[in-house]
Every structure is written in structure tokens, then in C-alpha cells.
Amino acid sequence: MARLAILLVAALGAGSTAHAQGSPDLAGLTFWPQPLASAALPLDARGAQRETGVSRPAAQPANDAALREAADARLDAVAKEQALNGERSPALIEELIALAAVYRELGEIGSAAAALEDAIHVARINYGLYSLDQLHAVESLVALKTTSSDYAQAAAQREYLRDLARRNADDPRIVGMLNELAAAEMAAARELLDVPAPAQLIVNQPTVAGEEPIRSPPLKPALEALLAARSDYIAALDATLRTRTGNVGDWFALENTLADTAYFEYAHPELFGPKSAYAYVDGQNRDVLTIASTQILRNRVRDMANFGLRPVEITKAMLELADWYLIHSAFAWALEEYQFARDFLVKQNIPRQTIDEMLSPDLPPVIPVLPASVGGAPRDRARGYFDTSVEITRFGLVRRMTLLARSPGTSRAIEKAFRRYLDSARFRPRFVNDELPRSDRFEARFYFDY
């Protein structure tokens, strides 16, 4: 595994995803393959829009009377504690946080914020200006500001939490705090995908030798959130090592969520806007982001080997890294990593059946295989299908496709979109007779939905 220490010296191009450009009624058209011999998903012959996701009961209106009674009880508890032990009593911290939670349910955001600010004030008086004993109150204030769409104040409070982490670098509690911060930033990135970057004001200034200075355009809010989440996950990993917090499972849960930021970056090229405008991000070439994502996946493989995880788990991570190289056209690195993965399984005396299931499946997967948090929930229904015979190159590109059959009533527009999809898709190469062939052929049923 020493090869993992080698630095990636070639910038890998930013990923892109293809979208169907058919008629407007095909918006959201997606395809996914199943082995032709076992394909048997039910079809919606009428093409009616289906409900997706988990069915949830309608929200019930809040019982304002009961909440008001609860708020009065909390106020009485606060007043009683103040009368017994003074306005600086440490016991007030949790009482005020509980009061804020009731105010939040009542929709009284101002009162909830005031209660939390009082809780933070009491915590700082008792335990110090930068003590982590104010953590619960500050995190509650962040959640309150976020749900009330006060994003500027929420961002300011998150930055305050990061400052607390820096000032309490040896406290194990910062690991969970940083992890929650990162998760919140990723949630914000998903919610802000369609929000444009703010307008940029450019003031012309004299330049040296008449050269035009490089100006980084304002980042889209979703990209800012993604970068913040990545930074927080890395900080959480550093804190985990420094404070010796958690176990191996906790470590790799963090590494996996960090890896998800790489896939999120790949799945949403719109984060960067037009390539000409966003050639630079935070003053750095945008390819640096892709290289950072590559290093994240490399580090995960290295750490799995160093921590002695099961060979099958290490191999899965190696295949994901090889897929990442392949989709970014780093062909030599990809083929080398696939070969390393197979050699590793053989060296570890993994049963041949397991090796074949991993490296020579009936159907090569479309890569990258996105996590559920990025790619969405698994599909279990379909509107139609195409039965195909597909030939791919050793780099996973479709060389030619023969259409064998299609579901009744499939339109020409959908067929054209399907052919465009295959032209842009990349498949993981399979081992045949223990080596990667120059070309490979498989048959599959590609279901579609929109």
C-alpha cells in the first residue's frame, strides 16, 4: 500500500453528468440497468406520475393551549430557580434551553432566541467565555436561526462554534460538535442548490504590466456550504486522533461522510456555474477541488489497510477509488487500481466466488455508485424499459449498443434520450479470465422513469 503515498501530479478534470434534453415532459428522466435474465420490475403502463419516498401522515396542528401551558410551567421553573439560587445559577442553562424549545414550537422565534441567548450568557459567566458548557445552547440557537431562515445569524453562530473548537482543541466533545456542524452544512448545500451566487461588484485597479488580475467570482451558497462541510469533517477527524475519541467504526463513519462530499461535488457540476466564470474557486483552480476529493478517497483506502479492516471492505474502497480515476479519465491510475484490488483479494486467500462477485459481476455497475444521500433512494418501480446488448471498452465507455426490445408505447424522444445516456455513461470494467479485456459485452434491461 506504499503506492498510496505517491502524490497525484496530474490535475483531473471536473466531473459532469448528462441530462436528457428531450421534450419538457421528460424532465427528470432517469435510467438504471438490471441483468436481463432477472429483470422483472413492475411497470406503470399508463405512465402516471407515481408518488416517491415514504408516505407520511399529514401533520397535525399544534395544540397551542397545551404548549402555552408548557411554556408557563417552564417560565415558573426558571423564576423558581432564580429565586432560590440567583440569576446566575448554572441550573438555569438547561431550564432556559427547554423554555426556548417550547417557544420554538409555538412559533415565537424572538422569545426562543432570547431564552437561548440568556442560557449562553449564564454558561459563560459560570464556566468561562469559551467553555464548551455553552455548547448545547449555541447549537440550539443555530438550529433555531436555520429553521427561521435567518441564515446570516446561523452562519455566524456556526463560526462561533468553530472558534470554540479551536480554543478547546483537546476536549473530546468537539468531535461530535464538528461532525454535527458538517452534517448541517451538507444539509444546507442540498437545500441551496438552486440559489444563485450573489452579485459581484468589480472595481478596476491598476495592474502590473497591463495584466488583467484573476478575480474569483462569488461562490454559490451551496458550494460555500459544501466546502465548509468538508473542512468540518476533516477537523473532526483531526480532533478524533488528537483526543483519542471513539473507535474504528466511528473513524470510518466520519471518513465515509467525508467521501460523500466528493460524490456530491461530482453529482452537482452546477455548483461551479459556467466553467469560464468559475475556473477559480477561492483563488485556486477548480481542478484542485477534484484533486482534494481524490485524496480523500485515497486516504480512506490507506486508513482501512492501516487499521486492519476486512479485505473485502478494503477492496470495496479500492474499487471506488479506481472508479473515481476512471470517470475523471485518469486511465492508467484506474486500471492499476483495479488490478491492485484483484491481486489484494487473491493474496488474502478470498474465495474465488467472492472475487468473481466483486470483480466479474453479471452486470458491470454504472459508475460512480453514488451514496443514497447523494443519489437518492433506490428505485423499485419503472415506467418502461429497453433491452440492450452493450459493448464497452476497457475504460468502461460504450463502444456500441444494440437495441433488442423496448416496452410498448416507448416514444422516440425517450429512445433518443436513452442513447445519449449510454453515450455519456461509464461502466466499471469486469475481469474476464482473470484480466481486464480490451472490450467486454453484456446484456441488460435499462428501466426508465421520469
Predicted confidence (pLDDT) per residue in 125-153, tens digit: 999 999 999 999 999 999 999 889 888 89
Which pLDDT band, with edges at 50, 70 and 90, does 109 fall under? very high
Q: Which of 60-69, 211-220, 329-338 has the lowest mean pLDDT?
A: 211-220
Model confidence at 213: pLDDT above 60: no
The reply to whether 225 falls in a domain is yes
Residues 16 and 74 in one domain: no
Instruction: Give the whole-angstrom CA distance, residue 228 versus residue 305.
Output: 28
The reply to whether 53 falls in a domain is no
Instruction: Give the whole-angstrom CA distance, residue 277 versus residue 75.
Output: 54
Which pLDDT band, with edges at 50, 70 and 90, does 377 fall under? confident
More confident site: 77 or 283: 77
The reply to whether 203 falls in a domain is no
The reply to whether 115 falls in a domain is yes
Instruction: Give the whole-angstrom CA distance, residue 29 versus residue 224.
Output: 29
The reply to whether 123 falls in a domain is yes
- Count of structural domains, the chain: 2
Which domain does 98 fall in, by range? 67-198+216-285
Residue type, 215: R
Residues 25 and 72 in one domain: no
Burial of 238 (0-12, 13-18, 19+ CB in 10 A): middle
Mean of all residue pLDDT scores within the chain? 85
pLDDT in tens, 3-21: 333 233 233 333 333 333 4
Residues 261 and 121 in one domain: yes
Model confidence at 428: pLDDT above 60: yes
pTM over 0.85: no
Percent of the chain with pLDDT strictly greater than 90: 68
Model confidence at 92: pLDDT above 90: yes
Residues 40 and 125 in one domain: no
pLDDT in tens, 222-274: 999 999 999 999 999 999 999 999 999 999 999 999 999 999 999 998 888 66
pLDDT in tens, 361-372: 999 999 999 988
Residues 115 and 74 in one domain: yes
pLDDT of residue 395: 96
pLDDT of residue 107: 92
More confident site: 401 or 270: 401
Residues 133 and 248 in one domain: yes
The reply to whether 300 falls in a domain is no
pLDDT of residue 133: 96
pLDDT of residue 57: 44
Are 382 and 41 in contact, with CB atoms under 8 Å apart?
A: yes
Residues 265 and 406 in one domain: no
Listed residues 285, 310, 327: the one ending a domain: 285
pLDDT of residue 166: 96
Listed residues 264, 285, 306: the one ending a domain: 285
pLDDT of residue 285: 45
CATH code (residue 71): 1.25.40.10
Model confidence at 49: pLDDT above 50: no
pLDDT of residue 210: 57
Residues 94 and 237 in one domain: yes
Which pLDDT band, with edges at 50, 70 and 90, does 218 fall under? confident
Residues 71 and 36 in one domain: no
The reply to whether 296 falls in a domain is no
Q: How many CB atoms lie within 10 A of CB 198?
A: 11
Listed residues 233, 262, 285: the one ending a domain: 285
Parallel, antiparallel or unpaired: strands 280-281 and 384-393: unpaired
pLDDT of residue 206: 58
Residues 106 and 185 in one domain: yes
Residues 175 and 267 in one domain: yes
Residues 257 and 358 in one domain: no
pLDDT of residue 60: 46
pLDDT in tens, 262-320: 999 999 988 886 654 444 444 444 465 688 899 999 999 999 999 999 999 999 999 99
pLDDT of residue 203: 57
The reply to whether 163 falls in a domain is yes
